[in-house]
Amino acid sequence: MTAFARAARRLSSMHSPRAWIAICAVLAAAALVVPLSNAFAPAGSTLHFPDYLVPILGKFMCFAMVALALDLVWGYAGILSLGHGLFFALGGYAMGMYLMRSIRGEGVYRSDLPDFMVFLDWKALPWYWHGFQVFWFAVAMAIVVPGVVAFFFGYFAFRSRVRGVYLSIVTQALTFAAMLLFFQNATGFGGNNGLTDYKRILGYSLHEPSMRLTLYVVSVLVLFVMYVGCRFIVTSRMGRVVTAIRDAELKVRFCGYETNHYKLFVWTLSAMLCGIAGALYVPQVGIINPSEMQPSNSIEMAIWVALGGRGSLFGGILGAWVINGAKSWLTVALPSAWLYVLGALFVAMTLFAPDGLIGIGTALRARFGRRQP
């Protein structure tokens, strides 16, 4: 057996939860080593990681969280959502409201109201903005609000037996309606400009390299914890029931399981994970506006999972990293060709690697694994 064939066999045989958790732990450690070198290497040193790349990598970690959440609900429960951008944006708005409240009295108008409210002649702070001056309240709302929206939507959708492509269309309609609502100035979320001009979080400046590095490290650790938690769920007895629902829901229902309860749990949990990702995304990017809810963003999230390999958890993470890394490079090198490259990549993976990047190991094993040394 050649070295290449042995490597293919090892890659395709690592299906145990412990193996994948070990892989993610190694990747998390590798992701932390390079930026953390900045704490010991002075600026200008060869070992110093460029400060401008830290928030970009942090953004990729947040996208990986979204892909992980979508893979949980699509890859294992068989629910293709084209509206997860809504839950991501709701978490981002919750954190953005805190960041806006933390600089009250320091804006252009020196008012306790955010600048956009003063400009629009608001006389008082809306009731739903109260409490967001407290960081932990904003964090809680970044998790609870997407979870509540997902719970009520999922309750009525699953109870009505909406499934398949019809459910996907409804989720897309939901996020499109929310986008139109948030575009309105009367809703009190900044209209099409959204929320921006953040200065500090927990009293620390967001423009300091040390704070950007801290947010990146937190994003890496949260992603790892999310992965371990999702891996625990999908390998548990409940995870096996959810997978059975994906493959044959009627048979599972006939066996006495209330399938709607399982789907609703996974659906709501996935939305809450997206809210956490959005809350970490906003302070690193510096803005949140309704464009994050546009349907094309949610479709792109599904492409991350499909390209990486749905039903594997790590595949979604890998797909988010690969696509967004390519996007960041190609939008600078070949800005007019990015969408064509994305389309060609998606078509090629669908034709030649339907199980995604994560399934290439299995394909290599089928090609070389049966050869004897």
- Average pLDDT, integer, range 362-372: 58
**Do residues 310 and 270 touch, judged by C-beta distance below 8 A?**
no
Indicate whether 24 belongs to any domain. Answer: yes
C-alpha distances in angstroms, 235 versus 55, 238, 243, 266, 324?
A: 33, 8, 10, 14, 29
pTM above 0.85, yes or no: yes
Higher pLDDT, 255 or 6: 255
For residue 99, what are the β-bridge partners? none
Indicate whether 48 belongs to any domain. Answer: yes
pLDDT tens, position by position, 107-161: 666 778 888 888 888 888 999 999 999 999 999 999 999 999 999 999 999 999 8
> In sequence order, what are the residues at sequence separation of 6 or more whose Cβ sits closer than 8 angstroms to the Cβ of residue 342?
303, 323, 326, 327
Own/partner long-range contacts of 334-339 (Cβ < 8 Å, ≥24 apart): none
Higher pLDDT, 328 or 69: 69
In this predicted structure, the answer to whether residue 268 has a pLDDT above a threshold of 90 is yes
**Do residues 313 and 75 touch, judged by C-beta distance below 8 A?**
yes
Indicate whether 306 belongs to any domain. Answer: yes
Task: List b or e across 156-173, with b for residues whose CB sees 16 or more CB atoms inside 10 angstroms.
Answer: ebbeeeeeeeebbebbbe
What letter would DSSP give residue 208?
A: S
* Structure-token pair, residue 321: 């990293």
Indicate whether 351 belongs to any domain. Answer: yes
Q: φ and ψ at 292, to 5 degrees? A: -65, -15
Confidence of residue 94 (pLDDT cuts 50, 70, 90): very high
Q: Residue 118 burial by CB count (10 A; 0-12/13-18/19+): exposed, middle or buried?
A: middle
pLDDT tens, position by position, 290-321: 999 999 899 999 999 998 888 888 889 989 99
Dist. CA 217–CA 278, nearest whole Å = 16
Indicate whether 373 belongs to any domain. Answer: no
Relative orientation angle of helices 53-71 and 209-234, to the nearest 10 degrees: 20
**Do residues 216 and 284 touch, judged by C-beta distance below 8 A?**
yes
Indicate whether 280 belongs to any domain. Answer: yes
Other CB atoms closer than 10 Å to residue 209's CB: what's the count?
16
Q: φ and ψ at 196, to 5 degrees? A: -155, -170
Q: Which domain holds residue 288?
A: 3-368
Query: How many domains in the chain?
Result: 1
Least confident of 102-106, 137-141, 241-245, 283-287: 102-106
Dist. CA 57–CA 43, nearest whole Å = 19
The predicted structure's pLDDT at residue 348: 79
